[in-house]
Homo-oligomer: A and B are copies of this chain.
């Protein structure tokens, strides 16, 4: 029998590691889903060489992969769990409190970035990839010079419909809409990205993703389904954008909407 789950956010004795929080036979339990998603992402080339990762939030509990794990080999017992309510405001790594910690690992440097999506946007899942396509898009933008290098834009591509219109808005973007993804500069320490990520989220209140120059992308969504499908759609668009660039095709075009003639 698993012990009863204590109220989230409550303090635990250091000797109680709450292993029951990552033990479930349900394949959709976050502790099972993070490893299966990460294995899928590894095959897509998104989390090569322990880079990248994913985190899931269910109500107050946040499930996180540890630092430095081979993503296709991750196990439920590798997962950290923390309570959002139990955290001090800063979420600084020195004061972060985990309900459950795997032995022999360190917390991921991505933690405060995932937390930003959970606290500022109420996201249920956040994915971080090192996809080549994301990195190449930021490198291509870099060549456009200061002032024109801080935003990826693309319009008139069907896959743009894969994105929600924005935080607390219903419905998705349309085919003719311009998808805008902010780009922030990379920092020497991943945790230091947090303030810039949050700044970008403030400046782009409807975005579900932030590109990090020469590094990758953070993508989130209300739930795992939305985070994953938005991440897939975005990677699709980044790849398309790189291929368009190679063929000399522009990312932004003016296209007159086609009207149906039938009633």
Binding site for B on A (CB under 8 A): 45, 48-51, 68, 70, 130, 132, 135-136, 139-140, 142-143, 156-159, 161-162, 174-176, 185-189, 192, 195-196, 212, 214-216, 225, 228-230, 232-233, 235-236, 239-240, 242-247, 249, 255, 257-258, 260-262
Contact: A260 with B187, CB < 8 Å? yes
Q: Which of A159, A236, A240 gathers most chain B CB within 10 Å?
A: A159
Q: Which of B140, B245, B258 contacts A196 (CB 8 A)?
A: B258
Q: Which residues of B contact A236 (CB under 8 A)?
A: 45, 48-49, 51, 130, 132
Known A-B contacts A229-B70, A249-B143; the reply to A186 vs B195 at CB < 8 A is no
Separation of A142 and B250 alpha carbons in the complex (Å): 11
Separation of A13 and B225 alpha carbons in the complex (Å): 33
| Shortest Cβ distance from A235 into B: residue | B48
Known A-B contacts A195-B260, A258-B187; the reply to A162 vs B247 at CB < 8 A is no
Contact: B159 with A188, CB < 8 Å? no
Nearest 3 CB-CB pairs, A to B? Answer: A49-B233, A158-B215, A49-B232
CB distance from A249 to the nearest CB of B (A): 5
Q: Which residues of B contact A48 (CB under 8 A)?
A: 159, 232-233, 235-236
Known A-B contacts A176-B188, A188-B176, A225-B70; the reply to A262 vs B195 at CB < 8 A is yes
Q: Which residues of B contact A142 (CB under 8 A)?
A: 249
Can you give 16 contacting A-B residue pairs, CB < 8 Å?
A48-B235, A49-B230, A50-B162, A51-B159, A136-B244, A136-B247, A140-B249, A156-B186, A157-B214, A175-B186, A175-B188, A175-B214, A176-B188, A186-B258, A187-B260, A246-B247
